[in-house]
Structure formats: structure tokens, C-alpha cells
Structure 1
Amino acid sequence: MNQISSFHENELDRLLALSNLGIDYYEPKQGLNYLTELAAKICGTEISLVNLIDSFTQWSVSSYGMDISQMPREESVCQYTIHTSSNEGLEVKDLRNDERFKNMFYVKGSPNLRYYMGVPLTSPEGYNLGALCVMDSNLMHLTDDVKEVLRLIARQIVDRLRLNNLVADLKNKLKESELNQKKLAHDIRGPIGGILGLSDLILEEDELTTHQEILEYTEMIKQSSLSLLDLSKDILSKEFDGNSNRNRDLREGETNLVKLKETILKLLAPQIKVKQIDFDVQLNPENQLESFSKLYVLQILGNLLSNSIKFTKAGGTITVLMNLKRNELDLILELSVEDNGIGMTSSKIHEILEAGTSTHEGTRGEQGFGLGLNLVKQLVNQRNGTLGIDSKLGVGTKFTIEMKVN
């Protein structure tokens, strides 16, 4: 395997590990702000950030001393930190003297950063999901002991992210247990109804009236069955009716179409503004308030839209259609992302759907790592969904996705 293929395979595994954390980059991350501030205080720096890095974007999920939520991956310093050969991290003594960073907006303008020290946020499986970094507008010197403490804080941050994910998973399993309880209640109604019917037939037989013992047993069966039916009614009445997912407060790990639209507009606002994209999100109003699992949804939609923005010229248009429909007990999410960008050849579409993809520069020279669409394909497959691509060079591209979001 050549070096580029090896990098792409490892990078895809890293992106999948990040996606499996199920993080909503705009939701509060419990326990992170304290650790982020602690890192800055221990190092004596003005700024500290917890950054998670996907295929297109660096997401600052916790910050101290700097109000920032995201930046393009290719403009970040932490993109180099996650690819350091050891867990020692990356130290840049003076960003002004480093060819990679001297022309970046955060060096040439406010906050006029000079010093950077970052350590990777490494998962138990060995994937660097992002970085904890400290920065300052002055030249700094950190001792080896301080750097070691910074690495310890980074491990605590990873543990906290995993813990938050486990808690959300437990809540989802509890909800699943409640749904199974509903199914159980329905399942026992049939046999119990049969017992009641049999009991009625026996009670209606005149020749059995002299058999007092049989009558007593039959009456006991009937009363027991009635009590079980009452129990099943109690179970079913506890928020398990067909509309229980509609017009209620969203639980952890859930979203709805209205909330999803609001989230992606926040996530992509900087990219849309830079390229002056005409961005339109349309919802099917029928089920727009019904809740569903957001596992992988933000990662899938975010990567699709970042790709469309990347390959759409300034002033171009991107249209997103979202629909949620029911198929018996399943909730099906339908997504459509259409742009009037540069388009793709049929061979490129085949490469994405069958063999993975390679990197290309965007319409403004944006760097890519060739894995955003490959990641989308992998995540859609994990939800047993389908990904369709319709594209024409010079005209644009339309992505369609259909997947279960139970």
C-alpha cells in the first residue's frame, strides 16, 4: 500500500471514529469548559481551545479567551497536531516565522497570535480526533512538566467526550426499552384475548354448570386475564401512542426537521457568507416537528453541504430538501442536496460510490482530503440507507439520501 493510500485509509478510520461519538458541534459539552479554562490557567496563556477536526472543518467545541466556533481545516494549526508522529504534540514558538501560518488571519490580524502549543485528543483506539491547544499573542515558554499536564488534560477531555456519548447512548437505550415495552403489551393482548374467549365459551355451556370446580377455575382464568389486560392498557397509556414523538420537547440524541434546519444554518453560516451562496433549505411540513435520532445525520448532511459549497462558485445556489416519512414502525429521512457547481463525470461518481475518492481543490482553492463523500457513503451504509448521485459537468450535482432514523 503506497503512502497516500495508507494516509487515506487511516484518515477515513479517524473520521469514522469521530462520527461514532455522535457529537453535535453546537450543543453544550458537559464538563469541557472547566477543562479548557484549566489548560489556559496552567499554561499561563490567553487562549485555550478544544478542537475536533473533520474532513472539511475544525470545530471549536469549547473555548476560553477566544470566541470562535469553527474555521476551515486547511487554515488551522491543529490540522498538523493531529498528524504528529507521537503524543508529544506540536509546538510553534513563533507563528510569524512559520511559512505555514505567517499569513493566516489570526496571525496577521486580531488576536495577533504568536505562540502555539497543541496536543492531540487521542481515542482509546489510537485515532487523533482533534487537539487541545493553548495560544498567546506573546512569545511563551512552557516547561516539560507543564506540557505533560496539558497531555493529561487532553486525556480527560477525551474521557469526557466518550462519557457524554455513553450517557446519551444509555438514554437512547432506555427509550428503546420503553418502545419494546409497548410492543410487549401489544403482543400479550392477542393470547389474553384468546383466553377470555375460551373462558366465555366454557361459561356459556349449560352442561358444565354442575361442575362447580371447573367454573371456579374458569372464573379465575377470566379475572386474571382481565387484570393483565388492564396492566397492558396502563403500559400503553404511558406516552406510547402513535403521536408521542410529535410536538414534544426533544430528548438528548434527538432532533426534528425544524431543529435540523436551524442547526445546519448555524454550522455553515461562515462558509455560505464567504462564498455568498444562495442557500435555501425546504422542509416537508407534514412531519417537521416529529423527533428522530440524529445519529450520523449532522455528519452526513454537514459533509454533503461542505462539499457542495466547496465546488460551487461564488454567488452560486444550493438547495436542500428534507422530508420525514413513516413506513410502518420505521422513520425514514429523505435528504436532497442540489447545487449548480462544477459537476462530476460518471467515472468520478463511480469512484465515490464504489472505490472511494481522491482530493480536488474547490472553486476558491479550498483544500480537501478526498474523504468527505467517502465518509458520507460509509455512514449512510451504517444506517442501512441509500446514496444517489446525479451530476453533469458544468451544470451541477444532486445528492439524494434515504435512511432509517429510528
Structure 2
Amino acid sequence: MSSTNEFQRLLALSDYDLDYASLETQFADLANLAAKVAGSQVSLVNLIDNYTQWSVAAAGLSTLQMDRQDAVCNYTIMGVEALEVKDLSQDERFQDKFYVKGDPNLRYYWGTPLTNPDGYNLGALCIMDTDQKELSPEKIELIQLIGKEIVNRLEILKSMKQMQEDIKGLKNDKKKVAHDIRGPLAGIVGLAEIIQHQGNQGNLEDVLEFILLIQKSGKSLLELADQIMKDEDQYLKGLHSNLFNLQSLKEKLQDLYGAQARQKNIQLRVVATNDYSEIKFPKTKLLQIIGNIISNALKFTQENGIVKVNLQLEQIANNFNLIIEVEDNGVGISSEKIKEIISGEASSSEGTQGESGFGFGLNLVKYLIDGLKGSLQIESKVGEFTRFTVKIPVV
């Protein structure tokens, strides 16, 4: 994958504006279905950003997150075809990974890219096992269809977010948007029927219960689209779920990035001021911006270090700015590197524990901040600290 395509891939993923910690209920049935079809112990629905592989749904394992460089799916998203590794312990890329050398001692891997309609790989659907396996062409076709279903659901989530963000236009465009949503939703129901038909032919009776769940889910979503067309007010009640206040943003950041900090034995302290605690503001792109900065801080902070995140609202006349300050006591950034980041031309560096960088995390941050008409300041002293201060108009 070229560097240009990788940056565009990250932009495409950021357009979905996903909260990775809240997606399990959306995709758990599909992870279970993939494992049933393959007859495998483990199946994962993985989304991959600049730093992290987020397993947003899993069968056979708890949902987890890991450094992107450690993930087999990182190789899957670099291609257009499925990737199969017969024995991870015999592949020099993976034989020393923790999930191969230790519990759960995985050996077999098969993964297919989750490719969106614009051709960008957002992540991968994979099945894994402690024993080597042979997947029939019929089972491979079924698993790839499940992967397409995952992308359909991501498209639905994206459409709904766009609808929420453009509330003023919704009054005039609600019928068109609902019609657009009905397309992929109808595809879900049709896909389930195809899989059920093929499942019957292949005597995969144990997957039919999951198929029926998908059909029921798809039909429920079709009914929701119909309701949007009939009753705008009912839909708008859900708009509050797309808002943060300082406390809920603090809790979400702790939930998403606390595990990364613990894995590296770093203290992650997130503090929100009590001022304007009742004020709510849109979630749009905030997790992508703050998450990338926190991940970068964790990458360049030594073990036993500290990453501090301060959140506050600043009132100017009748408007509010969200101020985000992320400070670490890590390796620091040179003045030349700061200039590269501010200009959007930063390149990758290796982390304190040898983590590979993919070069675009802070470039993406700058791009998203500019898109929200915000500002970015960076202060640093090499060997002592780095402080990112982001200011974004939110209300």
C-alpha cells in the first residue's frame, strides 16, 4: 500500500467517526456467524487506525485492542485479496507474537479485508484457530459475504451520523436520506437469504439460527428507515446520543485508551473541569483527534511515565470552545518535527518500545482540526515533555 493510499484510507476511516468501544452489539452476531461457518475457535471484526487494531466484536475471545504492528490483519488490509497463514508459528512475521508464543497459542489465520464502497480497507474480518484448518471454497464465499455485511452496517452508521450532523437539511432531505439507507439495508436482508440458501445446500445447519437473527435485524432496520420517512420527530429523539459533555468525554477516553496505557505501564490521567459541565457539544471527530494524540503520547512515553489529558470549555460571548491539552513526560519533539506536524508533513518515528509508526497519525489530527476550524499548538523539550493544545469551536 502506498503512503498516499494509506493516508486516504485513514481519512476514509475517520469519516465514519466511530466510537470503537460501542460497536460490539452491532457486529457480535456476525463475528459469531463467521466462527460458526468456518468451524473456528476465534473470529474477530477488526478496524485498524494509524496506531491500533480495534477488535470491535469477537467470538472465542474478549474484545481487545493491540498495537497495529502486532496484528496479522495489518497485512490483510495491505492487499485486496484474503490472506491465509497456515501456521503462524512458522511464519517469521508472527512467530514471536504474544498470541502465538503464549495463550491462546494461535496457529491458523484467514482474513478478508473490509473494503468500503470507495475501495479503502477499513479493517478485516478474520478467523483464527489453535489448529491448522482447511476452508472449503463454499465456506470462504460465505465468510466474504459476512465481511460485506459488516461494511453495509458501517455504511448505515455513517449515513445516520451524517443525518444527525446535518439536522437543518434533514427536514428537506429526510426522504432522500432514508431512501439511500434503504439500499444497503435491503442488501442485508438479501444477503442473509443468500447465506441461508447456501447454508442449506452445504448442510451448515448450525449457522441457520444466526442467519435468522441477521434477517430479523435487517428487517428491523428497514422498518426504522420507513419510520424516518414518516416521523422525523421520533428519529430526532436520538440526537442527544451524539453529544458529549466534559464528563462523558473524559469517561470515554479512559475507556478507550486506558488499556493501551496499562499495557505499557503508563499512567493515563484524564481530568475534566467542572465549569460548564452541563453544556453538551457534538462528538464529531473528537475521538479521532484526541485518540490519535493520546496514542502518539503513549507511543513516545517511557514505561512508568505519565500522560495527562485536561478537558475544559471556554466561553466566548455566546459560543464555546473545547480546549484539549495532552501532556506527556516522554522523549519530546524537536522544533523541526513540530514544524512538520503543524504543516501537515510529519513522518513516522519509532516508539520507546520499538513500536513502528505508520506516519500519518498527527497529519490526520492536523487535517481534522483544520476541518473543524480549530487550532493546534505544540510545546516540547527534548527528553522532558511534550504538550499538545487543541482548541475547537463546539457550541
- Which residue in 2 is equivalent to 1:181? none
Q: Does 2:91 align with 1:94? A: no
State the Cα distance separating 1:275 from its structure 2 match.
2.7
Are residues 349 and 124 of structure 1, via their aligned partners in 2, closer, same or farther at CA, if it must alter by over 3 Å?
same
- Greater radius of gyration (CA): 1
Counterpart Cα distance in 1 of 2:305 and 2:107? 37
**Aligned partners of 1:154, 1:274: CA distance in 2, in Å?**
30
CA contact (8 A) 1:294 1:405 kept: no
Q: Establish whether residue 164 from structure 1 lines up as the match of residue 153 from structure 2.
A: no
Contact 1:292 1:331 in 2 (8 A): no
Match of 1:143 among 136, 147, 150: 136
Q: How much has 1:249 moved relative to structure 2? A: 9.8
Q: Which amino acid aligns with 1:291?
A: K
2-structure distance, mates of 1:68, 1:107: 17
- Candidates 367, 380, 383, aligned match of 1:394: 383
How far the C-alpha of 1:165 sits from its partner, in A, is: 2.1
What is the match of residue 204 of structure 2? none
Asked if structure 1 preserves the Cα contact closer than 8 Å seen for 2:163 and 2:170, the reply is no
- Report how far residue 176 of structure 1 moved: 7.9
Deviation of the 1:387 alpha carbon = 0.8
3-state SS in 1 of match to 2:2: helix
How much has 1:350 moved relative to structure 2? 0.9
Q: Where does 1:266-285 land on structure 2 (aligned, <5 Å)? A: 266-285=255-274
SS of 1:26's equivalent? helix
Deviation at 1:79, TM superposition (A): 0.3
Alignment partners' CA distance in 1, 2:278 and 2:133: 51
Per-residue deviation, residues 28-62 of structure 1 (Å, max 9, x unmatched): 35542222211111111111111000011000111
One-letter identity of the residue aligned with 1:327:
I
2:34 to 26, 29, 39: 39
Per-residue deviation at 1:67? 0.5
For residue 107 of structure 1, what is the aligned residue in structure 2? Answer: 100
Q: Contact 1:258–1:289 (CA<8 Å) still a contact in 2? A: no
Whole-Å separation in 2 of the counterparts to 1:64 and 1:328? 51
Q: Secondary structure at the match of 1:40?
A: helix
Question: 2: distance between equivalents of 1:177 and 1:159?
Answer: 22
**Structure 1 Cα separation of the partners of residues 267 and 157 of structure 2:** 36
CA distance in 1: counterparts of 2:48 and 2:167, whole angstroms: 31
Contact residue 333 and residue 404 of structure 1 kept, 8 A: yes
**Cα distance, 1:368 vs structure 2:** 0.8
Residue 123 (structure 1) aligned with residue 112 (structure 2)? no
Deviates most, 277-286 or 54-63: 277-286
216, 233, 254: which one aligns with 2:243: 254
Q: Is the 8 A contact 2:34 2:43 kept in 1?
A: yes
SS for the counterpart of 2:56 is: strand
* CA shift for structure 1 position 112: 1.2
For 2:333, give the aligned amino acid.
M
Matches within 5 A, 1:105-254: 105-174=98-167, 251-254=240-243
CA distance in 2 between partners of 1:322 and 1:79 (Å): 32
Give deviations 1:180-230, integer Å, cap 9, x for gaps: xxxxxxxxxxxxxxxxxxxxxxxxxxxxxxxxxxxxxxxxxxxxxxxxxxx
Deviations 1:288-345 (A, max 9, x none): 3422111111111111011111111112222211112343454321101111111111
Deviations 1:257-310 (A, max 9, x none): 111111111211222113322322221211234221111111111110111111
Q: Closer, same or farther in 2 for the Cα pair 1:266/1:250, shift >3 Å? A: farther
3-state secondary structure, aligned to 1:133:
strand
- Which of 57, 73, 85 is equivalent to 1:62? 57
Which residue, out of 285, 293, 297, partners 1:304? 293
- Within 2, Cα distance between the matches of 1:260 and 1:346? 31
Confirm whether residue 25 of structure 1 aligns to residue 20 of structure 2. yes
- Whole-Å Cα distance in 2 between the matches of residues 102 and 24 of structure 1? 31
1:252 alignment partner, SS class? helix
Q: In structure 2, the residue corresponding to 1:384 is in which secondary structure?
A: coil
Structure 1 distance, partners of 2:306, 2:346, is 24
**Structure 1's 251 and 175: CA in aligned 2 closer, same or farther, altered over 3 A?**
farther
List alignment gaps of at least 5 residues for structure 2: 172-236
- In structure 2, what is the equivalent of residue 292 of structure 1? 281
Letter in 1 for 2:271: Q
Q: Does 1:378 align with 2:367?
A: yes
| Partner SS state of residue 111, structure 1 | coil
Q: In the alignment, residue 325 of structure 1 is paired with which amino acid? A: E
In structure 1, the residue corresponding to 2:5 is in which secondary structure? helix
Q: For residues 57-111 of structure 1, give each alpha carbon's deviation from its aligned partner in whole angstroms, at most 9, with x where no partner exists.
A: 0001111111032111111100000001x2x211001111111111111111221
**Offset, 1:382:** 1.0
Asked if 2 retains the 8 angstrom alpha-carbon contact of 1:171 and 1:252, the reply is no
Contact kept? 1:30, 1:164, Cα under 8 Å: no
State the partner residue of 2:354.
365
Change (3 A) 1:177 1:42: closer
Partner of 2:135: helix, strand, or coil? coil
CA distance in 2 between partners of 1:106 and 1:355 (Å): 36
Residues 146-191 of structure 1: CA deviation (Å, up to 9, x unaligned): 212211111110110110221233234447879xxxxxxxxxxxxx
